[in-house]
């Protein structure tokens, strides 16, 4: 059971790092981080399965 807890912790930590480094707006990042903390397996799973936020085309120019 301890190994499972460690695996979940590592996946959640990776998800939080990925969220912080994403191009999502700060309020969206905060909501995702709260979701990962409150619902570790579901929050991280949803983040990794959801389409990544994209930059708008006007910012890319």
Full-model pTM: 0.82
pLDDT higher than 90, residue 41: yes
- Over residues 1-34, the pLDDT tens digits come to 999 999 999 999 999 999 999 999 999 999 999 9
Tokens representing 23? 């191009």
14-23 CB contacts, 8 Å cutoff, 24+ apart:
14/44, 15/43, 15/44, 15/47, 15/48, 18/47, 18/48, 19/47, 22/52, 22/53, 23/53, 23/54, 23/55
pLDDT at 51: 84
**What are the domain boundaries of the chain?**
25-49
**Which of the two residues, 59 and 51, has the higher pLDDT score?**
51
Distance between CA 2 and CA 19 in Å, rounded? 26
pLDDT higher than 70, residue 59: no
pLDDT at 40: 93
């Amino acid at each position: 059971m301890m190994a499972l807890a460690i695996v979940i912790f590592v996946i959640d930590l990776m998800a939080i790092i990925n969220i912080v480094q994403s191009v999502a707006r700060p309020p969206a990042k905060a909501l995702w981080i709260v979701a990962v903390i409150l619902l570790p397996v579901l929050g991280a799973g949803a983040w990794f399965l959801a389409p990544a936020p994209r930059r708008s085309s006007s910012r890319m120019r």
